[in-house]
Structure 1
């Protein structure tokens, strides 16, 4: 099959030089094409340039195969390796073009080796045809094959590509179940739009096509039935307490797959926060952990840390709230993880941030409220400062983290780059204090607890009526005129000194005393009717028992009963609604270790491997799970 023809007139050194230069030339075109690609918008030109480079590389390789030199055979075997290396580099520079090459897990290695073994004999067959037939049509056919292979890779990814869905709303309340579609030449994939256009992928649904890892059964099922904007994004959540779990829950509400990594034995600290407990479950834990999977892992064991690293190699986002020194000891600091997975969005949540003299101090909601000044303006006038009596710092920090993660995911999708996010309880509470701190710097006196009577607006506070407390919020001058007319205080309406807020603030004590005396003469319900008719913002100060029955709260579906709890446990709907999502995702919080087997199976562990880790105490299976 291989015959050497001395009359070719080409020396062995010339062959070797051509072969050495060709792959370098081909690989070198990849970053150049990326730079000329204008943020990956001219993908088709890049694709064509890659195919031309491939044909040019094929000439010296096929030419070399005509010799009897041992080096020729070795270099011929290197031909498919060169092509696979080129694809890997193309994936690094243009991840939207070649999603299949982003898979570094067990199945991805198998996929690569299988392609390599297939390419080697094909190279020899091509060489035989080269020797027997004219080379022009052979190289044209070869180029066509490469072009179709890369087009297929761009369109649907590897053989185990994720499910994609299509379908629209049906009826006024909920969407019809989406259906999976097939595209020509793909095992599973979209049939062009909804999220592919002439210039490439658009929208967060496209992240599903860029998934680095094989899907677990739960993820595939979720992608087929839950069209959230973060569907296809994998989040590894190693946070505890309340702020981090809240951030992860909001990402899960948006469709992300959230894997909650918990220590074996006890799990998240919040599992023990109570009473109250409902059938042994902490109400606090349930309120921040819906829509998640649980992996119970012993990180003190080397095998446990290795398992975590393998999982993080498949993740888009990592949330943690550990001490920085501990993270470095465990090898899960941002530098180490992003060296392994450059696309990773690494979100560090802490009490005081990643830098500064107090960065290593532990942080809790109470500490943040105290140190930010939030407590200094909260409480009754003349009494000691009070904490806002809910997990305010935690919830707001969770919202801030979720916001930053979403922004980083947009950047990850556009450029393929990761990010390090630094979110702290102190910074979140400082954001809540922004108007107070700004006023102080502008010359206002240091504020103190006032019972809510020291707003920048003159009448913006609670008042006692004949039967209960209500609040009145006068937001502008026209509203002031309507208010005093409605409550029967015409003298204030006629006083030009009270026509604007500055004048009313100067006489705040006088006018609030008169208003308080007037409102105390009638029940709150009567004032609600009168002031509502006058278009003045008012509300009752409701107890929690009234909030859960509030018609507006019920109409908005703000209370989500935890499945299987007979409505003893509820969670609160995330503070946003997306028209495209319809019914909110509302899965029960996970039992400790409930998803350990499926998560590890999804990253390449066999049942025997998992059973071995269970026996060694490295992982824990959930209640009712048994060894295979």
Structure 2
């Protein structure tokens, strides 16, 4: 696979979602990614739902495209020696074990960088390498709860809610990519490797940039506002007369055109509502009028009229509708790969492209251990006899 990261070798010791998403992105940007998995079982997501007709996991497919799979038993000293040989030839190692685990196995940064001073090691953990919670395990929805993201999600009259996507895992995966690229950029300037610490909890707290601004500026602990924006009116989802939903997000320059489309001349003429601060102050009155007016229109026609008036608005779509939208189709958002077991299967493309070309084609997720022999021979320098000996002993 070609791309801007061609020539970069990544040793992927991670599992499940956040870090595997990161290494998939690196793979589809051209890096050679070698995923190390447990013999016989592999990444546990290989057994996650939804399952495909021949037994493969669509969950695993979503985060492991374009990688090579090598099976190595890290509990066996011979397996750890194999990993050291691979790390000695790698540019990057990505791992998500609890802090100290790799050190105890002799695979920590001090051990690996001694043989490869330019190595970039990214450790992606729940709570980071330091602090009182460093050895605490964590999961996406738990991070949403602990970080305040869950408290901010949902209708203000209802209970807290998780987000519709695993936001803690996904955003943390993006920060692992940032860490890898920052490490490689730093190495290109000073020649040395780095050990970079990505904590999922830190990432979730960083998402509160605007919430924290209100807390720091006003002493206000933000609360759930549903689809409404705490500092801008109108910015919310509204139900149209046909039962469908749309979202409108307007600023001062959109207020007049919005009122014109909705026939709200009295609101348009009210001087107290000309600026956002006034509309925020009179939020209840404004929102009641908007809801009543929007309920007299069918959604799709209203969206067309608002767009014609240059008022930011869009239909609230299902996932199926969003992926089938003509713009998404024209952008090639959904691609496909051909898997040796399951055949042709759709996949969301990595959303980064050069303006002169298409987005990266989705890579094929590896069959468990399919690349063990070639990787151990070509990268680790093992002979065919040594490989067969390790296999006979159950190490690979």
TM-score under structure 2 length normalisation: 0.96
Contact 1:261 1:296 in 2 (8 A): yes
Deviation at 1:551, TM superposition (A): 1.0
Which residue does 2:382 correspond to in 1? 605
- Within 5 Å, which residues of 2 pair with 1:411-560? 411-443=186-218, 445-467=220-242, 468-474=244-250, 476-560=251-335
Which residue does 1:596 correspond to in 2? 372
CA–CA distance in structure 2, aligned partners of residues 389 and 364 of structure 1: 15
3-state SS of 1:377 partner: coil
3-state SS of 1:563 partner: strand
- Given the alignment of the two structures, is residue 376 of structure 1 paired with residue 147 of structure 2, yes or no? no
Contact 1:286 1:570 in 2 (8 A): no
Deviation at 1:570, TM superposition (A): 2.7
Query: Structure 1's 381 and 583: CA in aligned 2 closer, same or farther, altered over 3 A?
Result: closer
TM-superposition CA deviations, 1:244-288 (whole Å, max 9, x none): 001101111111000000111110111111134342111111011
Query: Aligned to 1:319, which of 82, 94, 116?
Result: 94
Deviation at 1:566, TM superposition (A): 5.2
Deviation at 1:348, TM superposition (A): 0.4
Which residue does 1:579 correspond to in 2? 355
Contact 2:99 2:125 in 1 (8 A): no
Q: Any stretches of 5+ residues in structure 1 without a counterpart?
A: 1-221, 620-628
- Within 5 Å, which residues of 2 pair with 1:123-522? 222=1, 226=2, 228-443=3-218, 445-467=220-242, 468-474=244-250, 476-522=251-297
Contact 2:70 2:371 in 1 (8 A): yes
Query: Structure 1's 267 and 394: CA in aligned 2 closer, same or farther, altered over 3 A?
Result: same
CA–CA distance in structure 1, aligned partners of residues 312 and 248 of structure 2: 6
Query: Aligned to 2:394, which of 617, 620, 623?
Result: 617
CA–CA distance in structure 1, aligned partners of residues 198 and 363 of structure 2: 27
Contact 1:241 1:269 in 2 (8 A): yes
Deviation at 1:519, TM superposition (A): 0.5
Contact 1:291 1:585 in 2 (8 A): no
RMSD after superposition: 1.5
TM-superposition CA deviations, 1:46-85 (whole Å, max 9, x none): xxxxxxxxxxxxxxxxxxxxxxxxxxxxxxxxxxxxxxxx
Query: Structure 1's 451 and 583: CA in aligned 2 closer, same or farther, altered over 3 A?
Result: closer
CA–CA distance in structure 2, aligned partners of residues 323 and 392 of structure 1: 21
Deviation at 1:526, TM superposition (A): 1.2
Q: Which has the higher helix share?
A: 1
CA–CA distance in structure 1, aligned partners of residues 93 and 122 of structure 2: 6
CA–CA distance in structure 2, aligned partners of residues 454 and 233 of structure 1: 42
CA–CA distance in structure 1, aligned partners of residues 7 and 315 of structure 2: 43
My pick for the range that moved more, 446-455 or 357-366, is 446-455
Which residue does 1:111 correspond to in 2? none
Deviation at 1:307, TM superposition (A): 0.3
Query: Structure 1's 580 and 416: CA in aligned 2 closer, same or farther, altered over 3 A?
Result: farther
TM-score under structure 1 length normalisation: 0.61
Larger Rg: 1
Deviation at 1:403, TM superposition (A): 1.4
Relative contact order (alpha carbons < 8 A, sep ≥ 6): 1 or 2 greater? Answer: 2
When the two structures are aligned, how many residues end up with a matched partner? Answer: 392
Q: Any stretches of 5+ residues in structure 2 without a counterpart?
A: none
Contact 1:368 1:393 in 2 (8 A): yes
CA–CA distance in structure 2, aligned partners of residues 321 and 262 of structure 1: 13
Contact 2:124 2:199 in 1 (8 A): yes
